[in-house]
Structure 1
């Protein structure tokens, strides 16, 4: 049986050791047998509080050089004595990437012995922004993993809101608290709903409400049955492509080194643009992977215009996206090739514009020297020394996390599309002038807000094709994969806001102009 494990991360002087001592004092008073593992020594060494609390420390050097030996020693500690430990608390060194802890936990000696339930990150609010700039990807990695961020010395309300936005730019779903003592422990042990449970409750509740109120809604002229049928049809069509997309994207993220693109890139600008287009066509990279790969390219010296071409093209023209588009539109090659053509056109135009009018200053923000971490821990240079089996487990975890992350947007998008499809056959005129322009803008805004995965958005677009003209549908299919809320949040963790605003507005203007001119 695996032991519940809690991880406490944070940098020097954040108060990790003091906080852990307080937590162990409260938990130890409940006659619980607890193992505390320290991967650093703070200013106040953690001492055993009573016979039920066992403290064991590992040096930073040994942790880095011998993760397998560290895992074996922890396994021996867990096997000693007659009474099994009920909890494990880990104080993790702030200057070590979280992926190193994962590599220890994934060792054969430990992976069935313990279960990480909650990851806490403690930070001094007055030093947080400076640390984010100075530590690069290490702090981002820890934030991306955290379930709960504990802020000491919270600033005034306005600054606190800005700080929360900064934290959630690295981990949108993280809980943030300034609590201490018993109130903090209640938040630590409050388990959020598993994504599967949350999705089941959401869908089950929606079906129950639809069945319970169907007669009343039908009497009001609301076509409930049509909405439900259209909604379920879109989900059943889109989910297989979503699963294929996240699986291939996760495989690339885990098994293929990011340096492979930079290593084989031609030296000339136009050769480089062609190489980036071919890379986007071959590699099934969707939103979760395109932003970190783009960030990695820029950091490693790939010219910004070439990195922009890959970022804009890959989510639109990769094979999974084109296959799902072909399937969703009933084998319509014109729609499939048009989407690919507009994707290539917009990507090349963006690359040429950034070549002719490059940013005057660096596009990377102060904290951009490190990697952008995804919420599953598969950040750049992650998972060292765990072999193929460990990487396979990381792949499964990454695919699961990404699938449940993007499927919620698919559900919302399919629901909105089914409602629109059932209520109207033509919301906007398909002709020239204001009707087409307005419908294009509406669909671009919808694509941005819904944040659908590019491997499944074609099914939602097909559901809207009866209510919007073809040009608006194409705008939805081209603009959405390049920019949506998720992408902007991830970009904000590593790039200057001025660059992001310019990039988004320029892309929107190019998509609108190209589609309006060709469909008018």
Structure 2
């Protein structure tokens, strides 16, 4: 079976690494079945936070942006070698904020990986206080990441009016995408604890409370 890939996108300091820390460490701590899994975390960006796994079954590799720009095929081959050397049940990727998402898709579709992995879910992290400005001043990478995500997590929402304005802005890029706001982390995490890995991913980082109508 192809190995599922879960991707966390977002601009620098949007909370991607914090999401990975909270999700994977809590999951490995509190889910006995997860402790038997082998998880590979791949970081293509370094922010202020540092990913630190507390468990030996969570393995981390990093690739600098220079390598991503100049030697993408070597990155695919290196990931392939890593998968041959150790068992892997899940792959989590923290994607570079200024690099087009199409480049990640190209890495995964490389002949060395395309039959071994599959893109499962893409979560986009966004800071509500910075999102509008970033969309104005950045190029196409940020809108592309929003357009390609399965759901979006908003941090630091100031008011309902701010949320409504940002929701419309996001819908203009990715119509109807599910949008969540980080609130009541522990309470909601306990409620969703035994859900599937994807649902745990959505809820554990900020204990997400949905603010949209389906």
TM-score, scaled to structure 1: 0.35
> 1:158 Cα shift?
1.8
> Following superposition of structure 1 onto structure 2, how do residues 272-291 of structure 1 map, counting pairs within 5 Å?
none
Compared CA separation, residues 132 and 49, structure 1 to 2 (3 A)? same
Q: CA deviation at 1:48?
A: 3.0
- 1:184/1:105 CA distance change after superposition, 3 Å: farther
RMSD, aligned α-carbons: 2.0
Shift of 1:80: 1.1
Deviations 1:100-127 (A, max 9, x none): 1011011000111111111011011011
Contact persistence 2:135–2:143 (CA under 8 A):
yes
Q: Which residue does 1:113 correspond to in 2?
A: 116
1:123, 1:152 within 8 Å by CA — same for their partners in 2? Answer: yes
Is the contact made by 1:28 and 1:34 (CA closer than 8 Å) also made in structure 2?
A: no
The change in CA–CA distance for 1:98 and 1:26 in structure 2 (over 3 A counts) is same
For the Cα contact (< 8 Å) 2:39–2:58, is it kept in 1? yes
Alpha-carbon shift at residue 188 of structure 1 (Å): 7.0
Deviates more, 1:178-187 or 1:41-50: 178-187
Q: 1:125 aligns with which of 124, 128, 132?
A: 128
Q: Is the 8 A contact 1:120 1:148 kept in 2?
A: yes
Secondary structure of the residue that 2:133 maps to in structure 1? helix
Alpha-carbon offset, residue 156 of structure 1 = 1.0
Q: Is the 8 A contact 1:118 1:188 kept in 2?
A: no
**How far 1:184 sits from its partner (Å)?**
7.9
The CA distance in 2 between the partners of 1:28 and 1:145, in whole Å, is 28
Give runs of aligned pairs for residues 202-217 of structure 1, distance below 5 A.
none
1:139 and 2:148 aligned: no
Give the corresponding residue for 2:69: 64
Distance, in Å, in 1 between the alignment partners of 2:196 and 2:144 is: 22
Q: 1:45 to 1:159 in 2, by over 3 A?
A: closer
- Corresponding residue for residue 23 of structure 2: 23
Instruction: Identify, as 1 or 2, the structure richer in strand.
Output: 2
Quote the offset at 1:131 in angstroms.
0.6
**Aligned residue for 1:400?**
none
Matched residue SS, 2:105: helix
> Any residues of structure 2 matched to 1:186-225 within 5 Å, and which?
189-190=198-199
Task: Render the CA deviation track for 1:255-281: whole Å, top value 9, x for unaligned.
Answer: xxxxxxxxxxxxxxxxxxxxxxxxxxx
Q: Distance in 2 between matches of 1:160 and 1:48?
A: 33
Cα–Cα, structure 1 residues 184 and 40, in superposed 2: closer, same or farther, change >3 Å? farther
Match of 1:401 in 2: none
Q: Deviations over 1:7-26 (max 9, x none)?
A: 00011111111111111102
Q: Higher Cα Rg: structure 1 or 2?
A: 1
Q: What does residue 96 of structure 1 align with?
A: 99
For structure 2, the 5+ residue unaligned runs are 200-214
- In the alignment, does 2:48 pair up with 1:39? no
Deviation at 1:137, TM superposition (A): 1.0
Q: Does the residue aligned with 1:8 lie in a helix, a strand or coil?
A: strand
SS at the partner of 1:189?
helix
**Mapped contact 2:38–2:58 kept (Cα < 8 A):** yes
Kindly indicate whether the alpha-carbon contact (under 8 Å) linking 1:5 and 1:118 is maintained by their aligned counterparts in 2: yes
Q: Alignment partner of 2:172: what SS?
A: helix
**Which residue of 177, 181, 192 maps to 2:180?**
177
- Alpha-carbon distance change, 184 to 14 in structure 1, aligned in 2, over 3 angstroms: farther
Q: How does 1:1-16 map to 2 (within 5 A)?
A: 1-16=1-16
Which one has more relative contact order, counting CA pairs under 8 Å at least 6 apart?
2
CA contact (8 A) 2:21 2:53 kept: no
Return 5+ residue gaps in structure 1 as ranges.
191-520
- How far apart are 1:177 and its partner, in Å? 0.4
Moved over 2 A (4+): 26-30, 179-188
Give the whole-Å Cα distance in 1 for the aligned partners of 2:176 and 2:122: 13
> Number of paired residues?
189
1:149 aligns with 2:158: no
1:49 and 2:58 matched: no
